[in-house]
Structure 1
């Protein structure tokens, strides 16, 4: 396993991170702890969760994932684990989270941190992330910025002030973003530098063979400003395992939960998956190994967040670390990308 430093002075994390959003929904606590044990044994020191989880978000499972992770964490040497979690922002109908939440202001950020610390049974969070921006911007499959939807929101400077307080108090060690766009990352970096506030070390964004939008603007920003990409959904909600090609009703989140994964319910997804699957067959690879190998070893990726609903699936995903694509394979991948583009931005 490789280990990489996030951003400027951020934590040293494994190049593969274990995502936990299935814990408490598709995975029992015992199953979740088995996954965590397996990941730790395989050299993964980086665990990502969120106050909103399990997914899909429901009032009944709010905070369940953090609680499950916390029950495991108390049995570990805390200093060995880089623990990341996130504060839910407004702009989604999650009324059971702090009444909306109405804002990513100081009051809500502090309340969210205290709740996460309690559920995670720890005194500090290694990486605390804003789960999505409060301001108007396209996210989760939306692909157009609409100025007509502008609304009042907490200034980024005020969000940074709140995060800096938590760092000063020792409750948070590093801060990051999630589902951000180039303008947002630049604002967080610029304002932190201008006012001597805590600098973001990462942004967690979707990145996979069906969605390489990160490369179009954020890649340059993150490279020049030393902000690491935490790539989530490397298998595009299971599409890039190939299981839905022959069986659209195959077991998975997309079939288990109604109206889930709308980002991938677009006409260009299947042709692109078919093209990548054909390439994988020609190369003697599973589509999973092709897709994960691409993201794992991409120069713009600091760490890849993988998730699983079984130990067998987790082992398969970890084994894909050895599937480093050669230059010829990368050229073939790019040829498909130029034909199919980003069907699931």
Structure 2
């Protein structure tokens, strides 16, 4: 598999990343271990996790379980030197650390906690899961209300970057990254890093798929100018692009079904709308017309973007992962890429 470098760092990773957020909930440990084995066999060496995983739902009693599963794999058959590990520090949350402030001291403790659960002495990419000041991510773009508090925000960034600098000097992390950030936030993190001599962010993990293209404008420009790589999560739009929810279906074992069984709304975090289903159906029809598997078309589309992008693929079972991996050695033709752009104009941001 192709290898790429994260932003302006010297960290080389596979061009596709394996997401682990279902490990320990929808995906049991035995299947998770098989997935990591299978991904490594296919050339995927870049794995992403987070201290709050697994999700759907997030529960106090399971926080950290995903990192522990990955850690047992690393300590066993996996082998630490064969992979690059990314994980994330939770933003403001009552469930994680009882709402303790997300400052440099908290970050230092969080890094040590992740290292312990992952059974390793280093994290290749350490990311903030979301900004402390709020974000338009997670479908909050419809009512986002930013607050003017620039001095406090910049002081917070300097504090976090000082902790990242210390952790990197100690060899605990290789690089620093962001997630669910905005264009203004990314630019300011870079400015503060330059001013203080701290590590610049080399990656930004935001939602990105043919149905969710909020990244395409201001964020893409900022990332290109600052040499930051996009790690695109939910490349299948939380399963919408597989077609499994077409016609209002909610298959057993699906993310929507599991969420509802645990007391949630079963709306894929606000993604499951009539407009999104219509857009996903149109995407499936386009794939069929061009003789493509819709899942492969969605993931490989990210490699066509005019900026550095690495899709994060995730599967609840090794069978789903095998399907994903089966098409990863292809490339989308230019006429199909243009057709996907036309489809986006017909179905803009459907959730």
When normalised by structure 1's length, the TM-score is 0.94
DSSP-derived class of the 1:268 partner? helix
Deviation at 1:148, TM superposition (A): 5.7
Tell me the equivalent position of 1:48: 48
Paired with 1:179 and 1:206, the residues of 2 have a C-alpha distance of: 7
**What is the aligned residue count?**
340
Tell me the equivalent position of 1:70: 71
Paired with 2:146 and 2:166, the residues of 1 have a C-alpha distance of: 32
Tell me the equivalent position of 1:89: 91
Paired with 1:192 and 1:8, the residues of 2 have a C-alpha distance of: 13
Tell me the equivalent position of 2:256: 254
Paired with 1:246 and 1:290, the residues of 2 have a C-alpha distance of: 21
Paired with 2:277 and 2:297, the residues of 1 have a C-alpha distance of: 16
Tell me the equivalent position of 2:15: 15
Tell me the equivalent position of 1:223: 224
Q: Is the 8 A contact 1:203 1:229 kept in 2?
A: yes
Task: Go from structure 1 to structure 2 and tell me whether the alpha carbon gap of 1:298 and 1:148 turns closer, same or farther (over 3 Å shift).
Answer: closer
Q: CA offsets per residue over residues 265-323 of structure 1, 9 Å max, x none?
A: 33421221121111111112222122122124434243211000111210111123234
Where do residues 100-111 of structure 1 align in structure 2 (5 Å cutoff)? 100=99, 102-111=100-109
DSSP-derived class of the 1:305 partner? strand
When normalised by structure 2's length, the TM-score is 0.92
Q: Is residue 2:120 matched to residue 1:122?
A: yes
Tell me the equivalent position of 1:140: 138
Structure 1: which 5+ runs fail to align? none
Q: Is the 8 A contact 1:292 1:320 kept in 2?
A: no
Q: CA offsets per residue over residues 46-95 of structure 1, 9 Å max, x none?
A: 010000000121112100000000000012332221000000010xxx42
Q: Is the 8 A contact 2:228 2:308 kept in 1?
A: no
Paired with 1:125 and 1:320, the residues of 2 have a C-alpha distance of: 29
Tell which deviates more after alignment, 313-322 or 32-41.
Answer: 313-322
Paired with 1:168 and 1:123, the residues of 2 have a C-alpha distance of: 13
DSSP-derived class of the 1:218 partner? helix
Structure 2: which 5+ runs fail to align? none
Q: Is residue 2:280 matched to residue 1:273?
A: yes
TM superposition outliers: structure 1 runs of 4+ over 6 Å? 149-152
Paired with 1:255 and 1:149, the residues of 2 have a C-alpha distance of: 39
Given candidates 307, 318, 325, the residue that maps to 1:300 is 307
DSSP-derived class of the 2:97 partner? coil
RMSD after superposition: 1.8
Paired with 1:207 and 1:263, the residues of 2 have a C-alpha distance of: 15
Paired with 2:133 and 2:38, the residues of 1 have a C-alpha distance of: 38
Deviation at 1:263, TM superposition (A): 3.2
Paired with 2:149 and 2:197, the residues of 1 have a C-alpha distance of: 29
Deviation at 1:182, TM superposition (A): 0.4
Tell me the equivalent position of 1:202: 203
Tell which deviates more after alignment, 282-291 or 306-315.
Answer: 282-291
Paired with 1:10 and 1:259, the residues of 2 have a C-alpha distance of: 43
DSSP-derived class of the 2:126 partner? strand
Deviation at 1:150, TM superposition (A): 6.7
Paired with 2:134 and 2:94, the residues of 1 have a C-alpha distance of: 19
DSSP-derived class of the 1:231 partner? strand
Deviation at 1:246, TM superposition (A): 4.2
Q: CA offsets per residue over residues 97-125 of structure 1, 9 Å max, x none?
A: 2112x322012111211111110001111
